[in-house]
Amino acid sequence: MEILRKLIMHFMSIYRKTLIYLLLVVVIVSSSSEEGVNNSPPKGKTFTNSLGMEFVQIPAGEFQMGCSKGDKECADNEKPQHKVKIAKSFYMGKFEVTQGQWTKLMGSNPSSFKECGENCPVENVSWNDAQQFIDRLCNKEKYNPCKYRLPTEAEWEYAARAGSKTKNYWGDTINDEYFWYDKNSGGSTKPVGKKKPNAWDLYDMSGNVWEWVEDWYDEKYYRKRTSINGPSSGEVRILRGGSYLDGAKFSRHSCRYDRDSYGKGNDYGFRLVFLP
C-alpha cells in the first residue's frame, strides 16, 4: 500500500507541474497575440463589414499636421504646422461611403448624381445625416457602444498623408492620376477607387467629394492640438479633402472647410472609422 501511495503522489506532482506549464504557455501566447495587433505594418490588415464597406488598419504614429513646408496656398487656419501623436491604430474606410451602401442601410438615396451609380460616393448629406447613418449601422451590427464614427480631423489628415510630408500624398504638383477635381471631373462625382491610392491603400482622400470629420471647428484649438481629440464644443463642423467641383488647391491635405452640421451639398460626403 505504501508503494501505491507513493506512486499516486508522484503522478499527482507531475500532473500539477504539467498544468502550470500549460497555463504559462496560454498566457504567453495570448500576450504575444495582443502585441501583434498593436504593431501593425503600414498597409495594415483589412476587413469588410456587413454593408460591403472595406476598412484598412492605420498604424499608430506621429506626424506634422497643417500647412506643409513650402506650400504657398495655405490659409491662416492651416497654420502653424504642429506635431500630433496618434496613440492607437484604427481602421479607416478604404473608400468614401457609396450611394449603394447608403441606400442599402437607409432605404433611400439623397444624392444629386444618382445616375453616376451605386459605386459613386453618396453626397448631398450633412454631418447630422452621417451621424444617423452611423447610429443605424451600429444598431444593425449590434455594437453597443458604437464602434463606428467619423474620423477626427487629426486622424483624417494622418491617414491621408500616409507618411508623406508634401501637400498631397503623391507630391507637391498636380497629378490627375490621383484625384478628381474641377479640371478633370466633367462637373460630377465619379465611382470610388478609380484613381491611384495613397501609400496606405486609401482611395480618393483628395477630390471627388468633401469628407465630413467628427470635430468642431476651432481655429485657435487647432493650432495647439497634440492628439486626435478635437475641441469639446463649437458652432460649425469641418470637411476635408476637396471635391470634383473645386480647384486643385482645395484638395491639399491641410485644407480645412467649415460648415454648419446641417449643411448639405452635392459635393459633401464622408468615410468612416472603425474602432476595434
Grid cell, residue 24, equals: 504559462
pLDDT per residue as tens digits for the range 103-121: 999 999 999 999 999 999 9
Question: What pTM was estimated for this model as a whole?
Answer: 0.83
Q: How far apart are the first and last CA of the chain?
A: 59
Q: Which residues contact 28 (CB under 8 A, 6 or more apart)?
A: none
Grid cell, residue 176, equals: 490627375
Q: Which CATH class is domain 40-274?
A: alpha beta
Grid cell, residue 266, equals: 452635392
pLDDT per residue as tens digits for the range 136-192: 999 999 999 999 999 999 999 999 999 999 999 999 999 999 999 999 999 999 999
Grid cell, residue 161, equals: 498623408
210-216/268-269 β-pairing: parallel
Domain residue extents for the chain = 1-35, 40-274
Lowest mean pLDDT of 36-45, 153-162, 205-214, 238-247, name the range.
36-45
